[in-house]
Amino acid sequence: MSNAITATHFNFPGQNNVYIGKVRDVYTIHNKFLVMVVSDRISAFDVVLPKGIPFKGQVLNQIAAKALDATLDIVPNWKIAVPDPMVTIGRFCEPFKVEMVIRGYLSGHAWREYKAGKRSICGVLMPEGMKENDKFPQPIITPTTKAVIGHDEDISKEEIISLGLVSKTDYEMLEKYTLAIFNRGSEIAAQKGLILVDTKYEFGKAEDVIYLIDEIHTPDSSRYFYADGYTERQLKGEKQKQLSKEFVREWLMENGFQGQEGEKVPEMTDEFIQQVSERYIELYENITGDKFIRADVSNVVARVEKNISECLNTL
């Protein structure tokens, strides 16, 4: 569908570098600014699917922008401007080599480790007698390394400090920020009838100041449950109702695709793409409590390029 951005090939004055991620295209300008274009690409099972989802990039970018603004009193962040619904321009920071994962509930990777008999993750003890999706007595921080290639790996606070990935002083500050941002995100989610289950934060440094970088509290970086009925579902041992892109993974699995070698991505019909787009808009409205306003996508690539260029001229 032509109204979705699946690739960008911009060349801005002072451009030093371009990084193409699974979803984001990040342009470095004068080693001073980052231009992050949140594309409409969608990935699952570590595979970028062949077609884009209209408005997905706008949804993720605008949720992240709101969440960064809502935590600015806790920690400075990289965001300088949002010149386009799909773009954030921010301060270039040297990223720390770890991601700060924080978990309020026993879900996902932590649950898989627990089910396998482990009672410690990243050096943090987990209580006995827990079930999947039970709430931890206190949120736990389970950092990972940031892999350039392949998967991130669990790592403990002690290993991070002893390996010199982050200094002890900086790491303790990252822990403090992580807990405070998660508490704020949980409060905001509760006001919308949601539970912030787990999430990840990335931090960087510029001129010896720690900044919160990248996206936060989006459905791509965080897991949410619906609060209504959570307790009843736990008591009955039922699955929790999630607010995430899990429905895309389920559709792929139903159609015989789990990212394994030799498997073919099922055909993404216009009808399916439209359904996914509507679900992302629903995610936006649930997470923010605001009505989603569709941007003009009649010539989306030209719109994005123009808005970025005009903003860069003012910085």
Task: Tell me whether residue 101 is in a domain.
Answer: yes
Task: Tell me whether residue 234 is in a domain.
Answer: yes
**74 vs 191: CA distance, rounded Å:** 19
Task: Tell me whether residue 149 is in a domain.
Answer: yes
Summarised one tens digit per residue, pLDDT across range 197-245 is 999 999 999 999 999 999 999 988 999 999 999 999 999 999 999 988 8
Task: Tell me whether residue 184 is in a domain.
Answer: yes
CATH number at residue 231: 3.30.470.20
- Tally the domains of the chain: 1
* Averaged confidence pLDDT in the chain: 94
Q: What percent of the chain has pLDDT over 70?
A: 98
pLDDT at residue 147 greater than cutoff 80: no
pLDDT of residue 247: 84
Task: Tell me whether residue 214 is in a domain.
Answer: yes
pLDDT of residue 93: 96
The whole-number average pLDDT for the span 279-301 is 95
Task: Tell me whether residue 19 is in a domain.
Answer: no
Summarised one tens digit per residue, pLDDT across range 176-191 is 999 999 999 999 999 9
pLDDT at residue 249 greater than cutoff 90: no
Which range of residues forms the domain containing residue 220? 96-243
Cα 290 vs. chain centroid, distance in angstroms? 19
pLDDT of residue 245: 81
The whole-number average pLDDT for the span 16-41 is 96
Summarised one tens digit per residue, pLDDT across range 84-134 is 999 999 999 999 999 999 999 999 999 999 999 999 999 999 999 999 999
Task: Tell me whether residue 280 is in a domain.
Answer: no
Comparing CA positions, the residue from 94, 98, 125, 96 lying closest to residue 110 is: 125
Task: Tell me whether residue 72 is in a domain.
Answer: no
pLDDT of residue 150: 58
